[in-house]
Chains A and B, each alone.
Chain A
Amino acid sequence: MFLRWFLYFVLILFALYFIFPLYVMIVTSLKTMEEIRQGTLLTWPSGLNFDSWAVAWGGRGYGAGDTFLKPYFWNSIKMVVPAVFFSTFIGAMTGYVLTKWRFKGDQWVFLFLLFGCFIPFQAILLPMARTLGVLGISNSVIGLVLVHTVYGIPFTTLFFRNYYISVPTELVKAARIDGAGFFKIFFKILLPISAPIIVVTVIWQFTQIWNDFLFGSTFSFGEAAPIQVALNNMVLSSTSVKEYNVDMASAIIAGVPTLIVYVLAGKYFIRGLTSGAVKG
């Protein structure tokens, strides 16, 4: 009994520890600058004041120097949706080939792909910048889609390969005898049973790409920047006063989409991560 209470005590302590910064962020974002200046970080705001949220999202409405998140939020959406889609799809295809259409030297291909997981992204910034320049898509959302797709493939391939390796190859054999070809087997037989790993991959890729700052700040600037870059610019380029409430609101806005993805697909995430670990 004591042990149980102790356990709960510790768990609640950790939960509070983790939720504390979020609490401060939300509370601060709802306060006026007047309240913030009093230095009472933890007190409840005097009223629900969403002004700073409106400013963070839509700006103050004057011309030059007014940075707000709305356009960059859509930039990020335009970047993250195709990048997640393509990297997941290509990863699924590659995983399918590496497990069900084995060819000579396929282990080496997989090994080199895995290598991609270990390359620090800083190392490829310059060659990638040159590549984007040659392709004529530097400083564009399309360029970022390409970068994220390419650097997502090692991870997505790893996920799908490990998932498909537990799918009996006899399924593919049966389908071949039934007359299904390479793509038909993929779309009709394997993809319909891939939901758990697709969810895992989508969450992983979405989080990676949405939260990316390095590629975004290196390969884009000004209007083509994704939200994380805009957030940085916004917070750092404040003029006279530091508007903590607007900063906090902006930070929350920039983090909300990943939260939504986790909440919607979280239970599949756990299931997918452990699937294949135990036979059944």
Chain B
Amino acid sequence: MKTLKIDELSKNFGTTEVLRKINLEIDEGNFLVLLGPSGCGKSTLLNIIAGLETINEGNVYIDDYNVSKVEPKDRNIAMVFQSYALYPSMNVRENMIFGLKQAKVSKEKIEEQLQKVSKFLQVDALLERKPSQLSGGQRQRVAIGRALVREPRIFLFDEPLSNLDAKLRVEMRREIKKLHQQLKTTVVYVTHDQTEAMSLGTNIAIMNHGVIQQNDTPENIYNKPSNTFVADFIGSPSMNLIKGNLKQNSNQISFVANGSNFEIPINGYDFIEKSNLENKEVFFGVRPEHIFSKKSNEGDFEINLRADLSEYIGHEQIMTFDYENQEVLAKFPSTIKIELSKNTKLYFDLTQISLFDAKTEERI
């Protein structure tokens, strides 16, 4: 049984297609993050799961039960919003029990739930305050509390941290992670922040233009992006995508960058489909953090590139190199000194590379 299953779901606003044939499944207790740039349809998808938006095609199942036409309140879900959406005229107590009162839960049960949750979230001292008298972090906690008291099957979070300042955001991120570890409730979480997605999710679904690009574990999203969009979207700075061709002689497969006269051997690469590789136009993907200034593994590939630019950001520096008129970025500890406008020896970790078909932009 899947806690949440989305089947061939499509949605359009007028003539604009917002979601196209979305398929998703979440197991009990998992933390799914919907990640993507703004306008990719992730919030719409969340609203559809919540029942706040209608569906044009396809179905949504919660615990194998088709909820496509079920009212939000009857879906056994709870949602935390970006603006917290605390009812301004009610105090914290009234905010938290509003849903239970609507559901006609007995007074004793409501009080019990309220005490339990408010203690758990450490807002029990704030119960009589109005939302306007709370700090950002406290509001966030109350908003989570309002969702918790309902004991839902699925938690929906709609960019809950983007209104907080950087420091508080990191704290609240850890609290949400702890919360999930303790409660083990299934979560669907929408964000455009990749760090948030990586650190919170057990699964990440990356979306663009209403289509899921890749739905995988954070490790696979980072190490084996399924197309150039994912490769480019994840990581900061993002993955270097060097344009070139593949060469295949007998058992030797290598990559030659456009305009370059040497080959990079890529025999160790785990191809999905190992045919028709000769002369294939590809993107050679290597992350800035997998380019080193010293040889650290036996298989590292040595290459001489000219350093053009250095960006110092404290604990590390980002260097831009020229690879036959293509920019290659690398990340080094800030203690290493590299002279600009001079050729420098670099080492590519070939176990960490990705290859993409230049035409389809899909991983090969």
CB contacts between A and B, total, < 8 Å: 57
A271 at the interface (CB under 8 A from B): no
Which of B73, B83, B146 makes the CB contact (< 8 A) with A176?
B73
Does the CB pair A174–B81 fall under 8 Å? yes
In the bound complex, how far is the Cα of B83 from the Cα of A171, in angstroms? Answer: 9
Q: List 19 A-B contacts (CB under 8 A).
A: A170-B82, A170-B158, A171-B88, A173-B72, A173-B79, A174-B79, A174-B81, A174-B85, A175-B98, A177-B52, A177-B72, A177-B73, A178-B98, A178-B99, A178-B102, A179-B73, A179-B99, A189-B89, A193-B88
SS class, residues of chain A in contact with chain B: helix
Given contacts A170-B82, A189-B89, contact A176 B98 (CB under 8 A): no
> Which chain A residues border B206 with CB–CB below 8 Å?
none
CB contact list, A154-187 vs B, under 8 A: 168, 170-171, 173-180, 184
CB contact list, B89-110 vs A, under 8 A: 89, 98-99, 102-103
Which of B78, B82, B85, B158 makes the CB contact (< 8 A) with A171?
B85
Instruction: State the interface size on chain A (CB cutoff 8 A).
Output: 16
CB contact list, B102-126 vs A, under 8 A: 102-103
> Which chain A residues border B89 with CB–CB below 8 Å?
189, 192-193
Chain B interface (Cβ within 8 Å of chain A)?
Answer: 47, 50-52, 71-73, 77-79, 81-83, 85, 87-89, 98-99, 102-103, 146, 158
> Which chain B residues border A178 with CB–CB below 8 Å?
73, 98-99, 102, 146
Does the CB pair B103–A179 fall under 8 Å? yes
In the bound complex, how far is the Cα of B146 from the Cα of A66, in angstroms? Answer: 67
In the bound complex, how far is the Cα of B74 from the Cα of A178, in angstroms? Answer: 9
What's the nearest-Cβ distance from chain B to residue A47, in Å? Answer: 53
Does the CB pair B83–A170 fall under 8 Å? yes
Does the CB pair A171–B87 fall under 8 Å? yes
Which of B81, B98, B102, B103 makes the CB contact (< 8 A) with A170?
B81
Chain A residue at minimum C-beta to C-beta distance from B78: A177
In the bound complex, how far is the Cα of B102 from the Cα of A188, in angstroms? Answer: 12
In the bound complex, how far is the Cα of B57 from the Cα of A22, in angstroms? Answer: 69
What's the nearest-Cβ distance from chain B to residue A167, in Å? Answer: 9
What's the nearest-Cβ distance from chain B to residue A206, in Å? Answer: 25
